[in-house]
Amino acid sequence: MTVASGNIIEKFDSIDNPIERAAKIKDEANKYFKDEKYDLAIELYTAAIDLDSLQPTYYGNRSIANLRKELFGSALQDANEAIKLDPAYVKAYFRRASANMALGKYRLALKDYESVKKFRPNDADAQKKFEECSKIVKRIAFEKAIACDFDEKKLIDSIKPDEFAVETSYDGPRLDGEISLEFMKDLIAHFKAEKKLPIRYAYKMILAAYNFFKDQDSLIHITVPDKQKFTICGDIHGQFYDLINLFELNGLPSESNPYLFNGDFVDRGSFSVETIFTLLGFKLLYPKNFFMSRGNHESDSLNKMYGFEGEVKAKYNAKMSEVFTELFNQLPLVHVINKKILCCHGGLSADENVTLEQLRKLHRTRQPPEDGPMCGLLWSDPQDENGISVSKRGAGIQWGPDITKKFLEANDLLYIVRSHEVKPEGYERHHDGQVYTIFSAPNYCDQIGNKGAFINITGDNLYPPKITSFEAVPHPRIRPMQYGSSLFNFLS
């Protein structure tokens, strides 16, 4: 419990009845939830539950706060407890369904939407969610039925960019040959002016990136020469204008100014299309000096929830959103710098003895599995306590300093750089400096108030890393999650 929540709880110490005291603390938690201070709200709901564990609404409220924090495992547990206490608590079914959707457990989500329909047969929103979820379940079943391992057809193979015409009125950058620095500068200016890249050029970039990534291993070794600066960035989450500000602060990517972006390029922010094409463009321009790791948000289920699929459909079409799913499946999972720094989006897995060679050979061209090394690389988080714990996210693990030490020693590494978590200053140092979290989306979702950050190292000075924090910059008046599916409205 933090000092802030402790001070709030102390205000009600004079109330002798624990049930009345719990109700007052819950009311305070609701205020902080409304102000989008979810960490504090969760602590207060927990305090209320400790005083009165028989109130289903306390668990239900904590469940939605956990959903907002993307702690899907904790959200599931709270929704289950709320339903156990009150089997007719409709909101808990909604929240459990949302958590299961985020984890790709569509059939379980469908059962909950079916339950809601029974409780509220005339509820149009419940009917809509049931129908949309049902479509997803049927689509997945159909895809499995027609799938053939020996003759797998990819949608991306059917894309012919030159079949798409460029509008005669188009006055932006043109991609009729190889990508150039001039094209990238013009593309950034074009995007900043809120203009769209024609679909012909968009598909050209996707296809070129796909063909590059598909020939790579799941683990990429990066060599940084002595004295050369190298930059590691964390989550961007569709915050295009903050990405461009980062480049203004640290310099545009180049052969002498290389970058690694550590996953979660898209979702949440409503400029994910502009963000991903900017990153792919620099990857194609500087394939040996610009690197991209897959994050947990480069996945089909989260793209459906958090807006990327909807944004691609709105700005282009549904087919392109499916092609992006195939592209994301090809992204590398982990990078190792100068054989000493391991960079991945999430972290370690329950397999304490996994080696770098095993990570290099990981089968990655799929949606994230529910466990194992690939799941850990995309989903896991560090914890202060030794050992391994169940993740609050519902995927991956939480791992302690002893696990970090063992892994680093076994693989002759100095430290781990990972992302995946919002931090007030944009970064956090864990496990006595053997793990760093770096997060590069300042004022996440226009509401958290955090700074972003990036790491600089040089080839001859790997430790300690130099970390720079930066503030958010203004962007056009388009709210985060503008393109998120109504199916995943956590306020329902």
- Asked whether 301 and 331 are in contact (CB, 8 A), the reply is no
In three-state secondary structure terms, 447 is coil
Distance CA 283, CA 279 (A): 6
- Start-to-end CA span in the chain (Å): 29
Number of CB atoms found within 10 A of residue 155's CB: 12
- Contact between 434 and 404 (Cβ < 8 Å): yes
Which residues have C-beta within 8 Å of that of residue 260, sequence separation ≥ 6? Answer: 222, 230, 231, 232, 233, 291, 292, 293, 335, 337, 343
Question: Cα–Cα distance between 356 and 366 in angstroms, integer?
Answer: 20
Token reading at 6: 């402790």
Please check whether residue 215 is in contact with residue 330, taking contact to mean a CB–CB distance below 8 angstroms.
Answer: no
Prior bond to 464 cis, omega within 30? yes
Element (H, E) at 98: helix 90-102
Distance CA 361, CA 222 (A): 17
| Catalytic, out of 297, 335, 345, 431 | 297
What is the Cβ-side half-sphere exposure of residue 419, based on CA atoms within 13 angstroms? 31
Q: What is the dihedral of CA 212, 213, 218, 220, to 10 degrees?
A: 50
User: Which residues on neighbouring strands pair with residue 337, listed in sequence order?
Assistant: 222, 341
Distance CA 396, CA 403 (A): 14
CA distance 227 to 316: 43
In the three-class reduction of DSSP (H, G, I as helix; E, B as strand; rest coil), residue 369 is classed as coil
297 is catalytic: yes
Alpha helices for 176-299 (secondary structure H): 181-192, 199-213, 240-250, 272-285
User: Helix, strand, or coil here: 306?
Assistant: helix
Angle at 431 between CA 427 and CA 435, to 5 degrees: 50
According to DSSP, the residues that pair with 235 across neighbouring strands are: 439
**What element of type H or E holds 290?**
strand 290-292
Active centre residues (catalytic): 297
